């Protein structure tokens, strides 16, 4: 008998399957999802490891952007401090805000999703084509970030983006 949505409840009787598992299945699964060794760490695609990479990248940028906050705080510690030139302060402000939001906050939340979602769904991994999707995402996470950090130098690029001035 089917429900009003067309779901046949007799399907439940088929699970968990009682037939013997295919030969070598357990070994193949263990091989696919075992803890990486050596160089395997670089190319790990299981969401548990990729999620930790994401989190690591986010924390790296938290520290980098935090160091900019430290400079701003030093400037703001005393009135008319003169520790940072005004333009430099504006650049640090822009870089700190941009990095915190886009290279820390967003990747950190993504990292939690990558780590937790498969566990919550009872899935073995994220439903990504692993060889393409996750690696591209992981690699693309920190490289443009460091590039952005490298743009921080005296001059117009970051100052031009400042919308709030000291």
- Binding residues for ligand HEM (CB under 6 A): 66, 69, 72-73, 76, 93, 96-97, 100-101, 104-105
Question: Helix (H, G, I), strand (E, B), or coil: what is residue 8?
Answer: strand
Residue 44 or 58: which CB sits closer to ligand HEM?
A: 58
Q: Distance between the two ends of the chain, CA-based, in angstroms?
A: 70
Give, for 158, the enclosing helix (H) or strand (E).
helix 156-160
Residue 46 or 94: which CB sits closer to ligand HEM?
A: 94
Q: How far is the CB of 106 from ligand HEM (least distance, A)?
A: 9
Residue 101 or 136: which CB sits closer to ligand HEM?
A: 101
Q: Which residues of 122-146 are buried (b: 16+ CB within 10 A; e: fewer)?
A: eeebbebebeeebbebbeebbeebe
Residue closest to ligand HEM, measured at CB: 97
Residue 47 or 91: which CB sits closer to ligand HEM?
A: 91
Q: How far is the CB of 149 from ligand HEM (least distance, A)?
A: 15
Alpha helices per DSSP H over 11-153? 25-33, 47-76, 86-98, 106-121, 133-150
Q: How far is the CB of 94 from ligand HEM (least distance, A)?
A: 7
């Amino acid at each position: 008998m089917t429900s009003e949505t067309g779901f046949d409840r007799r399907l439940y009787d088929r699970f968990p399957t009682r037939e013997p598992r295919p030969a070598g299945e357990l070994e193949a699964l263990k091989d696919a999802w075992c803890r990486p060794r050596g160089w395997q760490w670089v190319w790990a695609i299981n969401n548990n490891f990729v999620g930790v990479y994401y989190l690591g990248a986010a924390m790296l940028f938290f520290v980098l952007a935090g160091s900019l906050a430290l400079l701003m705080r030093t400037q703001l510690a005393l009135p008319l401090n003169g520790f940072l030139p005004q333009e430099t302060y504006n650049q640090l402000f822009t870089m700190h805000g941009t990095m915190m939001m886009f290279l820390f906050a967003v990747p950190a939340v993504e990292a939690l999703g990558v780590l937790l979602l498969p566990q919550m769904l009872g899935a073995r991994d994220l439903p990504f084509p692993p060889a393409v999707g996750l690696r591209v995402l992981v690699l693309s996470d920190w490289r443009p970030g460091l590039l952005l950090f490298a743009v921080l130098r005296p001059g117009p690029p970051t100052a031009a983006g400042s919308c709030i001035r000291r």
